A and B are shown apart, each in its own frame.
Chain A
Amino acid sequence: MNSAVKSKDGAGIDFGRALKDGVLIGIVAFALLGPLVGLKTDQNMANELILQNRLGLAAILSVIIGVGRFLLSAFIYPWIAARGRRSKSAVTLAELEARARVTRGLSVTGLVFLFVYPILIISLFGVQGSIKWVDNYGVQILIYVMLGWGLNIVIGLAGLLDLGYVAFYAVGAYSYALLAINFHLSFWVLLPVAGILAAFWGIILGFPVLRLRGDYLAIVTLAFGEIIRLVLINWKDFSGGSAGISSIPKVTLFGIYSFDMGASNSFIKAFHLSPSSAYYKVFLYYLILLLALLTAFITIRLRRLPIGRAWEALREDEVACRSLGINTTNTKLTAFAIGAMFGGFAGSFFAARQGFVSPESFIFMESAVIVAIVVLGGMGSMIGVALAAVAMIGGTELLRELDFLKLVFGKDFNPDQYRMLLFGLAMVIIMVWKPRGFVSARQPTAFLFKRKTVSGDLVKEGHG
């Protein structure tokens, strides 16, 4: 570290120091590897225990480690330090503004692109070929965008680390599935019902939990997510257990047209289209797009209302909030409830899209992915969260298409098995490169003279 400090002052790279580091680490490595790698016990033909001397291998490994450390000390650490210094000092207001402009431009183009995306895909790949791109990529990503935006209210704005968000997703999905099958209600009636039920569960969870902070809050919300899942598995009469619920009715076009082939008011028959599920997928795409945009619209409005400001103030300093007469419990509960409500919306959409729900879909991994989307995107930033969802979900989907890697690594190489590894690596790299997420700067909710972007360094992350 010392070498990095020195080179910071413009003295160049301190090779002496780096060399010393390298030699020292090499010796330490050899001391460790000598017994661990250098000596190996084995059996010979006569079943006798013999000692194999592999000190040469240990020495080679130690040299590699020493050289690695030398390179780190000499080049990598000074480079990181220089980068950190530059990014700290050089982010001027003008740069922040420029970035904010880019973000705004991105959101407008993004929006236009999202609306023409299915048309574009159909014209490129044909009706049947579009299914993969509209459904696996478009719909899948947009579900996570919506979930990310919903959780963003809880984590990004109110600063409450909720690791059990998938529970509300599950509540929404099962609400739709059960009510649609048992009471034959339409999706359009059940969508708000699912949202309300999820919000209700958000409040139920919130009451006992919100007196906890930080890690404890995270643990209890995590447990809540698991409880919901385990109840769904074990309460077989209610939820069908691990077998789940199948043949959930599809969404109708406001009850006018059905997307079931056999139905009398079938959309495909009415418009004399060739039978394909692609039309339903496109419809679902626009449905989830509108739901996601509704989430964004309401969140943006809420941010400019006192409740939204109170959420952000709560993230910044809870004690100060209470000293200003803000009921922090209610404020947290509303954040939980509204976040949960959007989770519920997304859940009922998910159930309608899949036609099948089972507890399998609501494991902790889902919560973790949504939290990762929010953190990666930059907490509190809508566009950042959307980008992160594209990167995370689109990225994992794209990694399925890595067949060309077989050319590099040989025929036996199966890229699917490396998906999570590559994915984890990418996450680590992104977090090193942008520790506060893609878009860390904060847009103020009100201004007197001029809207100035607030640098992410000043914005607190909240501690539960």
Chain B
Amino acid sequence: MTTSHRNWDSDPVLTVEHLTMRFGGLVAVNDLSFSVGRGDITALIGPNGAGKTTVFNCITGFYKPTTGMMSMRTRDGSLHLLERLPDFVVARKAKVARTFQNIRLFSGMTLLENLLVAQHNPLMIASGMTILGVLGIGGYKTHEREAIERARYWLDKIGLIDRADDPAGDLPYGAQRRLEIARAMCTGPDLLCLDEPAAGLNPRESAELNALLLSIRKDDGTSILLIEHDMSVVMGISDHVVVLEYGTKIADGTPTETRNDPRVIAAYLGVDDEEVEEIEHELDETTGSEGGRA
């Protein structure tokens, strides 16, 4: 196990160091450090209320963390400190895209329009910050056509090309989830953060989602960080699992490692206090021997 190649240590796309988020007296995330490997699918799991979504909101700039540092290295090699950026700059410059636990599509706009809104920033430049676009000069038309082609590619990929001109609010739930992922991908991200992408999906849709995520990683080289409860997704496709409980990291490793971690099992299944102490005792011994993993 110590010899296995840990991509997230050698080539991280995102490094979170000592992230703490307090809401008044409540410590939602407590001194959390982990890395997301470039090209990896990383799963952030934990029981309800463990602080997973808070971590997401910190990474994507929706919350300003109390303390901590989050550095994102984009494909072009530039380094962005996410805690210093406003949310829209995180998406625009640091190339972090996200989806939401409760789907946030533009329901009154068509699928195509949803995907075009995601390409707002390049299109805005192409339209000469609107001024040239209104006057009808400049190459906006060509850029828009390219944007539509890109949208078509993603609609094709998520299997919704036939419904391109329907309003997003008319889609069934599973399709809305896929569309939200496609919309995030249309921003051209280096890191895609998915907040419970498999929530409410049936097993078949869940398998389709796995295939989609794997193909995103393969075709676009986008690293994926996801929060998930569905273990078939987590164990099936992720390369790296980080487990949170009460805002603290309790395990970090490959899926097999975390699956067999007694603390993870305890956190998920719940055990008597005595037993926890027992396990923690055992665990201290094992982690001690492994040498500073946690």
The residue in A310, A322, A445 that gathers the most chain B C-beta atoms within 10 A of its C-beta is: A322
B109 vs chain A, min Cβ distance (A)? 6
Interface residues of A in 435-451 (CB under 8 A from B): 442, 444-451
The answer on a CB contact under 8 Å between B108 and A458 is yes
The answer on a CB contact under 8 Å between B87 and A458 is no
Q: Given the complex, which residues of A lie within 8 Å of B123, measured CB to CB?
A: 305-306
- Write the residues of chain B forming the contact surface with A, with a CB cutoff of 8 angstroms: 60, 62, 87-89, 91-92, 97-98, 100, 104-110, 112-113, 116-121, 123-124, 127, 130, 133-134, 136, 140, 144, 148, 151-152, 155, 161, 164-167, 169-170, 183-184, 187
Q: How far is the CA of A305 from the CA of B113 in the complex (A)?
A: 11
With an 8 A cutoff between CB atoms, is A215 at the interface? no
* Given A305-B140, A448-B165, A449-B164, CB of A312 within 8 Å of CB of B60: no
- A285-309 vs B, Cβ < 8 Å mask (1 yes, 0 no): 0000000000000100110011101
With an 8 A cutoff between CB atoms, is A162 at the interface? no
* Given A312-B106, A313-B109, CB of A326 within 8 Å of CB of B165: no
Q: Given the complex, which residues of B lie within 8 Å of A325, measured CB to CB?
A: 88-89, 91-92, 120-121, 187
Q: Given the complex, which residues of B lie within 8 Å of A298, measured CB to CB?
A: 134
The answer on a CB contact under 8 Å between B104 and A320 is yes
The answer on a CB contact under 8 Å between B127 and A324 is no
The answer on a CB contact under 8 Å between B97 and A320 is no
Q: Given the complex, which residues of A lie within 8 Å of B170, measured CB to CB?
A: 458
Q: How far is the CA of A330 from the CA of B244 in the complex (A)?
A: 37
Q: How far is the CA of A263 from the CA of B255 in the complex (A)?
A: 90
- A212-225 vs B, Cβ < 8 Å mask (1 yes, 0 no): 00000000000000
Contact size range, A? 35 or more
The answer on a CB contact under 8 Å between B117 and A310 is yes
The residue in B91, B106, B140, B148 that gathers the most chain A C-beta atoms within 10 A of its C-beta is: B106
* Given A302-B134, A447-B112, CB of A324 within 8 Å of CB of B166: no
Q: How far is the CA of A442 from the CA of B100 in the complex (A)?
A: 25
With an 8 A cutoff between CB atoms, is A252 at the interface? no
Q: How far is the CA of A449 from the CA of B151 in the complex (A)?
A: 13
The answer on a CB contact under 8 Å between A455 and B112 is no
Q: How far is the CA of A250 from the CA of B242 in the complex (A)?
A: 74
With an 8 A cutoff between CB atoms, is A328 at the interface? yes
Q: How far is the CA of A185 from the CA of B144 in the complex (A)?
A: 41
* Given A305-B140, A326-B117, CB of A316 within 8 Å of CB of B127: no
A128 vs chain B, min Cβ distance (A)? 42
Q: Given the complex, which residues of B lie within 8 Å of A327, measured CB to CB?
A: 88
The answer on a CB contact under 8 Å between A305 and B133 is yes
With an 8 A cutoff between CB atoms, is A334 at the interface? yes
* Given A325-B187, A448-B165, CB of A459 within 8 Å of CB of B108: yes
The residue in A317, A321, A446 that gathers the most chain B C-beta atoms within 10 A of its C-beta is: A446
* Given A301-B133, A334-B130, CB of A460 within 8 Å of CB of B108: yes
Q: Given the complex, which residues of A lie within 8 Å of B120, measured CB to CB?
A: 306, 309-310, 313, 324-326
Q: Return 22 A-B CB contacts under 8 Å, by A number.
A: A301-B136, A306-B116, A313-B106, A316-B107, A319-B104, A321-B88, A323-B62, A323-B184, A324-B117, A325-B88, A326-B88, A326-B120, A444-B165, A446-B110, A448-B148, A448-B155, A452-B166, A454-B108, A454-B167, A455-B167, A458-B107, A458-B108
* Given A317-B105, A324-B91, A452-B166, CB of A306 within 8 Å of CB of B110: no
The answer on a CB contact under 8 Å between B164 and A448 is yes
Q: How far is the CA of A298 from the CA of B134 in the complex (A)?
A: 7
Nearest A residue to B98 by beta-carbon distance?
A323
Q: Given the complex, which residues of A lie within 8 Å of B89, measured CB to CB?
A: 325
The answer on a CB contact under 8 Å between A447 and B165 is yes
The answer on a CB contact under 8 Å between A322 and B109 is no
Q: Which of A309, A324, A455 contacts B183 (CB 8 A)?
A: A324
- A118-137 vs B, Cβ < 8 Å mask (1 yes, 0 no): 00000000000000000000
Q: Which of A301, A316, A317, A319 contacts B134 (CB 8 A)?
A: A301
Q: Given the complex, which residues of A lie within 8 Å of B148, measured CB to CB?
A: 446, 448
The residue in B97, B112, B130, B155 that gathers the most chain A C-beta atoms within 10 A of its C-beta is: B130
A340 vs chain B, min Cβ distance (A)? 16
The answer on a CB contact under 8 Å between B107 and A460 is yes
The answer on a CB contact under 8 Å between A448 and B117 is no
B206 vs chain A, min Cβ distance (A)? 23
Nearest B residue to A324 by beta-carbon distance?
B118
A89 vs chain B, min Cβ distance (A)? 14
Q: Given the complex, which residues of A lie within 8 Å of B127, measured CB to CB?
A: 305-307
* Given A316-B107, A319-B104, A328-B88, CB of A307 within 8 Å of CB of B124: yes
* Given A313-B109, A317-B106, A322-B88, CB of A451 within 8 Å of CB of B116: no
The answer on a CB contact under 8 Å between A322 and B113 is no
Nearest A residue to B107 by beta-carbon distance?
A458
Q: How far is the CA of A324 from the CA of B152 in the complex (A)?
A: 18
Q: Given the complex, which residues of B lie within 8 Å of A459, measured CB to CB?
A: 107-108
Nearest B residue to A305 by beta-carbon distance?
B133
B135 vs chain A, min Cβ distance (A)? 9
The residue in B112, B155, B167 that gathers the most chain A C-beta atoms within 10 A of its C-beta is: B167
Q: How far is the CA of A75 from the CA of B83 in the complex (A)?
A: 61
Nearest B residue to A460 by beta-carbon distance?
B108
Q: Given the complex, which residues of B lie within 8 Å of A323, measured CB to CB?
A: 60, 62, 87, 91, 97-98, 100, 104, 184
